[in-house]
Amino acid sequence: ELKVEQNPLFLSMQEGKNYTIYCNYSTTSDRLYWYRQDPGKSLESLFVLLSNGAVKQEGRLMASLDTKARLSTLHITAAVHDLSATYFCAVDMAGNKLVFGAGTILRVKS
Amino acid sequence: GAVVSQHPSRVICKSGTSVKIECRSLDFQATTMFWYRQFPKQSLMLMATSNEGSKATYEQGVEKDKFLINHASLTLSTLTVTSAHPEDSSFYICSAREGEKLFFGSGTQLSVL
């Protein structure tokens, strides 16, 4: 059974600071996704990581994937208040099903 | 980009009634759609995989007679919560794949009184 562990579960950041969210998973997978969710809303796709060593960046967010270590990271650079949300990683298992991490609640304080 | 439309966005119903949620892929065909449930402050849990023209595949612990899924066309899947009870109150989200990306509907907040 695929397990996805995400940490930290809650992250309080100061504006302008950098931080990293970690996503570990237990079995081999070819795809890993990062999503953002605002309260009461659905999921917004941030990144799709398809191969070992993949790195993608969009604005202040950068995601990477190490399939050998079964680890993905979401790095936040110079946080701003607009980044406050819940972030989920999700791993694609057989049959195109996603298994989600527990989510990281990010709060950026000014 | 691909869009998945989900309706209704919010529904309040009495205990014992049935509620239907629709999920449509607007500009692409989806032979497979997925239904997730999310309880407050929790992650998303896959309920079932909806397959066009065939029976849905349910995850362990999900009652197929309670959560009826129909995928009658390449652009529409429906989830019917039958005889809803307060414990069924949750946020239901559908998704569909196009290429390497999964797109999610806007979600349906179900409240059963």
DSSP at B31: S
CA–CA gap between residue A89 and residue B43 (Å, rounded): 10
State the nearest Cα–Cα gap between A79 and chain B, in angstroms: 23
CA closest to B58 among chain A residues: A97
pLDDT per position as a tens digit, A56-93 = 999 999 999 999 999 999 999 999 999 999 999 999 88
CA–CA gap between residue B93 and residue A41 (Å, rounded): 10
Contact assignment for B44 to A97 by CB distance below 8 Å: no
State the nearest Cα–Cα gap between A106 and chain B, in angstroms: 13
CA–CA gap between residue B40 and residue A13 (Å, rounded): 23
Q: What is the pLDDT along chain B (113 residues), one digit of tens a residue?
A: 668 999 999 999 999 999 999 999 998 998 899 999 999 888 999 999 998 888 999 999 999 999 999 998 899 999 999 999 999 999 999 999 887 778 899 999 999 99
CB of B113 less than 8 A from some CB of A = no
